[in-house]
Chain A
């Protein structure tokens, strides 16, 4: 190259001049933050003796692995079926109650896996009211004569998880149905394809990336679950990690199972990335026009309404009703303790802090890939999102190892230089919980924001730059307004998840700080069942608020 001066900058793709490099550096920082706990975990796992590994492979892992895989497949199928069918129902057909269904279908998102399991264990108890009613109708006297199959089984676990996790598929799939070019559907119709066939031949294939992303997210959530699987007697790897640590305080052992679990995690992350691989070339914003829903006969409409309501009834209404009744009973009996109010404050504070940090980092990572698309930023993005699939317990152990190390280091330095002991700076302040939640949920934030940004044509960036705006100005005046919906959606999803999050909070919260989730778990673990129904109801109620907002964002975006 005979250039007169050395040319700065990498020689691969760059879209926005040189200023994008700062963003990539920040993105690298975000990736580092996420990676540190994983590194800590790996170090800890290596400390374990070789004898431990042998024990792991011979006894715990085979059972746990088989159970985990069956659970993942089952939940994947159930969420895919419910998520895509309901999404298609509310976008392609017009029937009474459709608008209500559109947002109501998000409601199960407000019910964490451990709460639905907890609720159904009681609802479907052999001597509970539901089974009693069935026996009464059928004329049986005792549970010995007739009982439903036990909910405490693999099938029960798959169904219950499916009914609360399907919104992860429903949300992106419906968004895809709404934004994908209506022209394509029209084109299919003129080519002689009936409206019903359009679903299989056009809409579903187009929505496949969205469905895959949704399933990947639902499965990561499944892997994270500790409560439901534990209550329902399914011995997943996550539960194994938990018990290995809790019952035997065996940190290296837990780390080892966690590392094995990370392999599955990597596969799921791969699935999500693979599904997103073409999103940067998403449809031209000018041309996308949603479907016009088709009117159906009243009878058919009634049928659709019923079909669409079923997942809501099972995944939300039933457990919510149960919790409301139980909470009311408890309230009548003992009133509302100040302890619960304090827990409300700490729950919301932790969730808000974690959401702010997570969305800020998510913006950095997603924006860096837009400014400087290429191998580096794509790699950083992949790194920074691996935390989501890592179950809360795994992340918690990692964060614990890292921050405890930092705490010791700072304490010793302060002692040496100033003669003051700082104590446990991070671990004692709740920073550890925020850290763990950020690591866990950065993928939601990055994924959502990236998907929103990718819908903005690159020519808009170029237009803004040539019209005098810097990278930052372009972000403020073009990307932010155009991806506001995507960013708020991401923020709300993160917020909900932070409130629902149990294992990491349980393990990393400062002494004497309780959230609703840890309270619920504590009571369930002790088997006391006192205020747990109120705490559970509170979690569900708080989680509904963002769900309602989320549904607003979803419909407001449709001009």
Chain B
């Protein structure tokens, strides 16, 4: 997938850009919701915007849709400025929006809801567009029903159909699956994304769920307090987080303090790679993912005592007390330890350990 950064690499690249945000900022009263966001999103790309609630991801989505305006910066859709110096009303932007609460019009039937965005099209064209999207999403049997009679999954499908019917160049989705049951969610998500992929639509999806973000986006944008923390593929963000916040967002790690010495970080449980730019004798923190700790009865450099075992079926979560550490280490074991074991040996895969400078 073509991934281009904001600098713009000539005309050929520009044509491939569906959405460009330049230094976008927005405040509500004294509280900044979005601060200096810049990003380019390529046509056909699926981007997930992820972050905890209040990080500004939904505001950013609404700014792109035009139902919210910017205080500073510029927004370009398909090369045309839509906010900043020149504001384009949301109805003129050609974006589709799937809302968290679906926002189906309660006074209109499913068919009328889907036709709502096609009022400017010619009658025959509107019906043809609607029919196609209805067929692809498979909601023929719901057309005469009213939104309040639909289940959550059905409402989600109708909301998607309604957003797609006018053939938007870009589809924005605000927590589109969060109102669905856990079991249904994965299935609906897979169906939705394969449909959007097959239509070659640009998609920006907001989510607060790290797993959902990693599994859906070609690129993941992690946000915090109105700013972008890191942009990259799911692998980039998980394996190569740029800071401790990004590392912790996708996986709660064990944190072990250490001191930088001679190109390494020395800790109570061994020496690890040192982050670039860390000062000699400065303090650093290493993040050890629970999966990076392997446990056995006889092999390993470190001795640990088993404090607690919580069985999860496929895995077992084990709390390990290690001499020299204030807090016990959390490990996730795939292989089962014999019952009643109290002392084990552990080893830590050094390539899966992340190290960050202390602030």
Partners in one complex: yes
CB distance from B168 to the nearest CB of A (A): 8
A11 touches B71 (CB 8 A): yes
B249 to chain A, nearest CB (A): 27
Known: A462-B103, A463-B105, A464-B116. A15 touches B95 (CB 8 A): no
Q: Are A459 and B89 in contact (CB under 8 A)?
A: no
Using known A-B contacts A11-B27, A463-B99, determine if residue A468 contacts B105 with beta carbons closer than 8 Å. no
Residues of B within 8 A of A12 (CB): 28-29
In the assembled complex, which residues on chain B have CB atoms less than 8 Å from the CB atom of A478?
A: 105
> Are B91's CB and A470's CB within 8 A?
yes
Q: Contact: A463 with B74, CB < 8 Å?
A: no
How many of chain A's residues have a CB under 8 angstroms from any CB in B? 40
Q: Is residue B20 within 8 Å, beta carbon to beta carbon, of the partner chain?
A: no
A472-510 CB mask vs B (1 if < 8 Å, else 0) is 010001100110000000000000000000000000000
Complex CA–CA separation, A284 to B100 (angstroms): 12
- Verify A459–B103 contact, CB threshold 8 A: yes
Residues of chain A within 8 A of B103, CB atoms compared: 457, 459-460, 462-463
**Residues A466 and B84 in contact, CB atoms below 8 Å apart:** no
Contact for B119 among A14, A19, A460, A469, CB less than 8 A:
A469
Considering the complex, give the chain B residue whose CB is closest to the CB of A469: B91
How distant is the Cα of A477 from the Cα of B97 in the complex, in angstroms? 18
Within 8 A of B (CB), among A258-315: 284-286
Q: State whether B89 touches A470 (Cβ < 8 A).
A: yes
CB-contacts of B47-75 with A (<8 A): 62, 65-74
A282 to chain B, nearest CB (A): 14
Give every chain A residue within 8 A of B100 (Cβ-Cβ): 459
Interface residues on chain B, size class: 35 or more
Are A17 and B72 interface neighbours, CB within 8 A?
no
Q: Would you call B84 and A17 a contact (CB within 8 A)?
A: no
- Do A3 and B72 contact each other (CB < 8 Å), given the known contacts A462-B90, A465-B90, A466-B91? yes
> What is the minimal beta-carbon distance from A424 to any residue of chain B, in angstroms?
46
Q: Are B166 and A467 in contact (CB under 8 A)?
A: yes
Q: Chain A residues near B106: list those with CB within 8 A.
A: 285-286, 482
Identity of the chain B residue whose Cβ is nearest the Cβ of A374 in the assembled complex = B29
The docked-state distance in angstroms from the alpha carbon of A481 to that of B66 is 24
* B97/A17 in contact, CB under 8 A: no
Please tell me if the beta carbons of A462 and B62 are within 8 angstroms of each other in the complex: yes
One digit per residue, 1 when the CB lies within 8 angstroms of any chain A CB and 0 when it does not, for chain B 246-274 equals: 00000000000000000000000000000
**When the two chains form their complex, are residues B84 and A7 in contact, meaning their CB atoms are under 8 A apart?**
yes
Q: How far is the CA of A481 from the CA of B87 in the complex (A)?
A: 29
Chain A 515-558 near chain B by CB (<8 Å), digits 1 or 0? 00000000000000000000000000000000000000000000
By the criterion CB–CB under 8 Å, are A459 and B84 in contact? no
Could you tell me the distance in whole angstroms from the C-beta of B97 to the nearest C-beta in chain A? 4
The complex places the Cα of A218 from the Cα of B101 at a distance, in Å, of: 37
Which chain B residues lie closer than 8 Å to A469 at the CB level?
91, 116, 119
Bound CA span A185–B107, Å: 26
CB of A65 to closest CB in B, whole Å = 40
CB-based contact A17/B89 at 8 Å: yes
- Closest A residue to B96 by beta carbon equals A466
Once A457-B101, A466-B91, A468-B120 are accepted as A-B contacts, the answer to whether A7 and B67 lie under 8 Å apart by CB is: no
Q: How far is the CA of A461 from the CA of B27 in the complex (A)?
A: 21
Q: Does A5 contact B (CB under 8 A)?
A: yes
Is A8 in the interface zone, CB < 8 Å from B? yes
**From A480, which residue of chain B is reached at the shortest CB distance?**
B107
Cross-chain contact A284 with B89 (CB below 8 angstroms): no
Q: Identify which of residues 72-124 in chain B touch chain A, using a CB-to-CB cut-off of 8 Å.
A: 72-74, 84-85, 87, 89-91, 93, 95-97, 99-101, 103-107, 116-120
> Across the interface, which residues of A come within 8 angstroms of B90, CB to CB?
17, 462, 465-466
Task: Kindly state whether residue B43 has any CB partner on chain A within 8 Å.
Answer: no
Q: A17-B67, A462-B67, A465-B67 are in contact. Are A1 and B29 (CB under 8 A)?
A: no
Chain B: which residue is nearest A462 at the CB level? B67
User: How many angstroms from the CA of A70 to the CA of B101 in the assembled complex?
Assistant: 48
Tell yes or no: A419 within 8 A of B by CB. no
* Pairwise interchain contact A1-B71, C-beta atoms closer than 8 A: yes
* Minimum CB distance partner of A482 in chain B: B107
Known: A465-B67, A467-B166. A8 touches B117 (CB 8 A): no
Q: Is the CB of A2 within 8 A of B23?
A: yes
Q: In chain B between 15 and 34, which residues have their CB closer than 8 angstroms to a CB of chain A? A: 23, 25, 27-29
A481 to B112, CA, bound (A): 13
| A478 to B107 alpha-carbon distance, docked (Å) | 8
> Which residue on A lies nearest to B95, using beta carbons?
A466
List the B side residues contacting A477 at CB < 8 Å: 116, 119
Nearest CB on B from A473, distance (A): 7
Check if A9 is an interface residue, CB within 8 A of chain B. yes
- Min CB–CB distance B347 → chain A (angstroms): 51
Within 8 A of B (CB), among A182-212: none
Query: What's the least CB distance linking B352 to chain A, in Å?
Result: 41
State how many angstroms separate the Cβ of A242 from the closest Cβ of chain B. Answer: 46
A512 contacts chain B at the CB level, 8 A cutoff:
no
CA distance A473 to B90 in the complex (A): 12
Complexed CA–CA distance, A16 and B27 (Å): 16
B119 contacts across to A, CB distance below 8 A: 468-469, 473, 477
In the complex, the answer to whether A467 meets B89 with C-beta atoms within 8 Å is no
B89, B95, B172 — most chain A CB neighbours (10 Å):
B89
Report the Cα distance A12→B28, complex, angstroms. Answer: 6
**What residues of A have a CB within 8 angstroms of the CB of B148 in the complex?**
286, 559
Best-buried of B96, B104, B116, B172 by chain A (most CB within 10 Å): B116
Q: What are the residues of chain A within 8 A of B28 when measuring CB–CB?
A: 12-13
With A13-B28, A462-B67 known as contacts, the answer to whether A286 contacts B101 (CB < 8 A) is: yes
Contact A7 B99 (CB under 8 A): no
Residues of A within 8 A of B87 (CB): 8-9, 17-18
Contacts of A16 in B (CB 8 A): 67
Counting chain A CB atoms within 10 Å of each CB, the highest count among B62, B67, B96, B166 belongs to: B67
A4 at the interface (CB under 8 A from B): yes
Residue of A1, A18, A460, A473 touching B69 (CB-CB under 8 A): A18
- Of B68, B117, B172, the contact of A468 (CB 8 Å cutoff): B117
> Nearest CB to that of A13 among chain B residues?
B28
Which residues of chain B from 151 to 202 have a CB within 8 Å of any chain A CB? 162-163, 166, 172
Pick 25 A–B contacts, CB within 8 A, sort by A: A1-B71, A1-B72, A3-B23, A7-B72, A7-B85, A8-B87, A11-B27, A12-B28, A16-B67, A17-B69, A17-B90, A18-B69, A18-B87, A19-B89, A286-B148, A462-B99, A463-B99, A465-B90, A465-B91, A466-B117, A467-B162, A467-B163, A469-B91, A469-B119, A477-B116
Q: A471-B89, A481-B107 are in contact. List 10 more A-B contacts (CB 8 A).
A: A1-B71, A7-B72, A18-B89, A460-B103, A462-B62, A464-B105, A466-B66, A466-B96, A467-B166, A468-B119
The 10 closest A-B pairs by CB, nearest first: A467-B117, A5-B85, A459-B103, A465-B90, A463-B103, A466-B97, A3-B72, A462-B67, A459-B99, A1-B72
